Amino acid sequence: MRSFGSSLIFGLATIVCGPVCAPAWAQDWTELKDSLAERGIIPGFVYNLNTVSDLDGGIKRDTILQGNGYLNLRIDSDKFFGFPGLKIYFSELGTHGPNPTGIVGDAQGVSNMTVPPGFRTYEGWAQYNFLDNRWSILVGQYDLGTEFYRLQTAGLFFNYAFGTGSEFGLSGVEGPSIFPFTALGTRIAYRPTDNFVIRTAILDGVPLYRPGGAISPFHKGDGLLLISEAA
């Protein structure tokens, strides 16, 4: 079986080329974005589009499209509240597209963008840094994959094999608190030097969005996910 995949990443960007080629809406957006940033409010939107084609072997010749969009908001408390050290972050996730297993017949997922279609809250947390940023505490709905078990290959290739290992990614119910289903919990980090950090996180053993679509944290029997890492 041979398959082909390509990925396109689109993000909000402002191209400054003067009033001749910049549309009015782009200028208005730039002014609004700069005004919000001065107040510590940083909105963003990123859309990922992925195509997968089965060219030979597998189940059938076909091409599918997958996509996900992130709508996020970051608040810097120093500018917004006048209270330094606190950061607040929200992210909503929308996904669409079929599972390529139907055309490829893969044993291990060929696309890490394979997610049940729909809309869900992806992250929502507050983080406080103190003691000269040596200590950090984060509380809320959190994707631990943004800090734990980070692999450079996961940012380059979209095959599951290059991301979080199966020994961890298939643990628990619906996996650990990583894309696309995250859980509530807390993370503590200590950075004794500029190039060394120790992190520990304790999270609900089941994602906030449970199998079947229910939204409920910390049910009896969920268990806890505990993870530590030195980097």
184-202 residue pLDDT tens: 999 999 999 999 999 999 9
Host H or E run for residue 142? strand 135-142
Of the candidates 105, 3, 128, 127, the one whose C-alpha atom is nearest the C-alpha of residue 53 is 3
- Give 58's DSSP letter: S
pLDDT per residue as tens digits for the range 58-107: 888 989 899 999 999 999 888 888 888 999 999 999 999 998 888 888 77
Higher pLDDT, 25 or 132: 132
Say what the pLDDT of residue 212 is: 74
DSSP character at residue 179: T
Q: pTM of the entire structure?
A: 0.79
Return d(Cα 201, Cα 227) in angstroms, integer: 5
Task: Name the strand (E) or helix (H) holding 24.
Answer: helix 24-38
Higher confidence at residue 63 or residue 212? 63
Q: Residue 74 pairs with which residues in a beta bridge?
A: 42, 89
